[in-house]
Amino acid sequence: MTANNLLADFFSLIYPRICFACGKGLYKQEKCLCAFCRYHLPKTNYHLEEDNPLSRLFWGRVNLGAAAAYYHFDKGSKVQHLIHNLKYHGHQEIGTMIGTNYGIDLKNSPLYRDVDAVLPVPLHPKKQKRRGYNQSESFARGIASALGANCITDGLFRAFNSSSQTLRSRFERWKNVETIFGLYHKDSLQGKHLLLVDDVVTTGATLEACAQVLLGVPGARVSVATIACAA
């Protein structure tokens, strides 16, 4: 056993490496997820279907090229635990790992293989400063790396710090976000296929508002990908 392995074993006793979905211990070759969760978390495979439950959520609301999510989301599920660890406990490596894995799948889909740039849904600067990071940025970086696309984290911005969406109806969520997003660097995005990404989509109000801003760029085509969705 090498000195590095001994050191790793020592630190694992103090800071045990666990699966961020189920909480069980990880083997040395596993990262973020145990093998069981990696292969059994409920994937949607929506990236293979232009007409899927998530894309239908946006019909008549915003003209998207495609819409997909990696996992199905249910309250109290392992997927919720995984995203909670990414969003509130600082484990940005989760977003990068999921983004990279999903980006590999998206690259094999004709709906996504020509994506030019990936843009995460932004947090308001005050909220991001308080949390320390935007959980969607690590997801965006992972996807962009796998697709060979640009990751633009300073494109979309949130001009107003909207209140929490958790207990709002679909209409209330839409009214809460419809005018709060803006966009920098519009000229560099002209004629591009833009992939808008976020962690979880429920009503789709935030993604709709961001997509409308991006669609104001001449010649831009906008698609959506999220870590999980309730649809």
Quick check: 13 pLDDT over 80? no
Average pLDDT, the chain: 89
DSSP track, the chain: --HHHHHHHHHHHHS--B-TTT-PBPPTT--SS-HHHHHHS-B--GGG-SS-HHHHHTTTT---S-EEEEEE--TTSHHHHHHHHHHHS--HHHHHHHHHHHHHHHHTSTTTTT--EEEEPPPPHHHHHHHSS-HHHHHHHHHHHHHT-EE-TTSEEESS-PPP-TT--HHHHHHHHTT-EEES-GGGGTT-EEEEEEEEESS-HHHHHHHHHHTTSTT-EEEEEEEEE--
* pLDDT over 90 percentage in the chain: 80
pLDDT at 231: 74
Calpha distance 159→178 (Å, rounded) = 11
Quick check: 176 pLDDT over 90? no
Q: What is the CATH number of the domain that holds 135?
A: 3.40.50.2020
pLDDT at 16: 78
Average pLDDT over residues 35-47: 98
Residues 2 and 107 grouped into a single domain? no
Residue-number span of the structural domain to which 32 is assigned? 1-38
Residues 147 and 34 grouped into a single domain? no
Quick check: 7 pLDDT over 60? no
Its pTM stands at: 0.87
Residues 45 and 30 grouped into a single domain? no
Residues 77 and 176 grouped into a single domain? yes
Residues 148 and 98 grouped into a single domain? yes
Residues 108 and 160 grouped into a single domain? yes
Quick check: 118 pLDDT over 70? yes
Quick check: 8 pLDDT over 80? no
Q: pLDDT digits over 177-187, tens only?
A: 556 899 998 99
Residues 96 and 11 grouped into a single domain? no
Residues 47 and 78 grouped into a single domain? yes
Residues 29 and 45 grouped into a single domain? no
Tokens representing 107 are 């690259």
Residues 115 and 67 grouped into a single domain? yes
Residues 32 and 118 grouped into a single domain? no
* pLDDT over 70 percentage in the chain: 85
Q: Find where tokens 């833009």 sit.
A: 194
Number of domains in the chain: 2
Q: pLDDT digits over 84-111, tens only?
A: 999 999 999 999 999 999 999 999 999 9
Residue 162's pLDDT band (boundaries 50, 70, 90)?
low
Q: Which of 53-62, 157-166, 189-198, 204-213 has the lowest mean pLDDT?
A: 157-166
Residues 59 and 113 grouped into a single domain? yes
pLDDT at 15: 55
